[in-house]
Structure 1
Amino acid sequence: MSLLATSLSGVTAASARFDRASTSLVANASRGNDILSDLVEQIDSRNAFQASINVARAADDMMGRVLDIKA
């Protein structure tokens, strides 16, 4: 699997986790339940999303360097 495919998979998974945490946060807040774990999950999924974007950027940069070397 390529780095770009891996990072895209990570972005998709992190986005889905953030959506689930957001939905859970709204449901728990409306019931008066503790929302701390939902907030932590949102932060964690945001960080995972950013890490996956960084992998994509690094892969793009490496490919550019390879092409520069071959040219």
Structure 2
Amino acid sequence: MSAISTATAGIISATQRFDKAAANTARNATNGQDILSDLVDQIDSRNAFKANISVIKTADEMLGSLLDIKT
């Protein structure tokens, strides 16, 4: 599996986790429950999203460098 496809799967997973945490935050805030763990989950999934974007950018740059070497 390539780095780009792995990172893409990571982005999808992080987006789904963020959406779930955001929905939990809204639901728990409405019910007067603690939202701290939901906010932490949102931050964690945001960081995972950013990390996977960095992987894609780096893989793209490496592929471009490889193509420059071959031509």
TM-score, scaled to structure 2: 0.99
> How many Å separate the matches in 1 of 2:68 and 2:50?
27
CA-atom RMSD in angstroms: 0.3
In the alignment, which residue of structure 2 is the partner of 1:47? 47
> How many Å separate the matches in 2 of 1:10 and 1:53?
9
Please give the per-residue CA displacement for 1:20-58, whole angstroms capped at 9, x wherever unaligned.
000000000000000000000000000000000000000
In the alignment, which residue of structure 1 is the partner of 2:22? 22
In the alignment, which residue of structure 1 is the partner of 2:10? 10
> How many Å separate the matches in 1 of 2:4 and 2:40?
27
Structure 2 residue ranges without an equivalent (≥5):
none
Q: Which runs of 4+ in 1 moved over 3 A?
A: none
TM-score, scaled to structure 1: 0.99
> How many Å separate the matches in 2 of 1:43 and 1:14?
10
Aligned length: 71
In the alignment, which residue of structure 2 is the partner of 1:67? 67
Identity rate, percent = 54
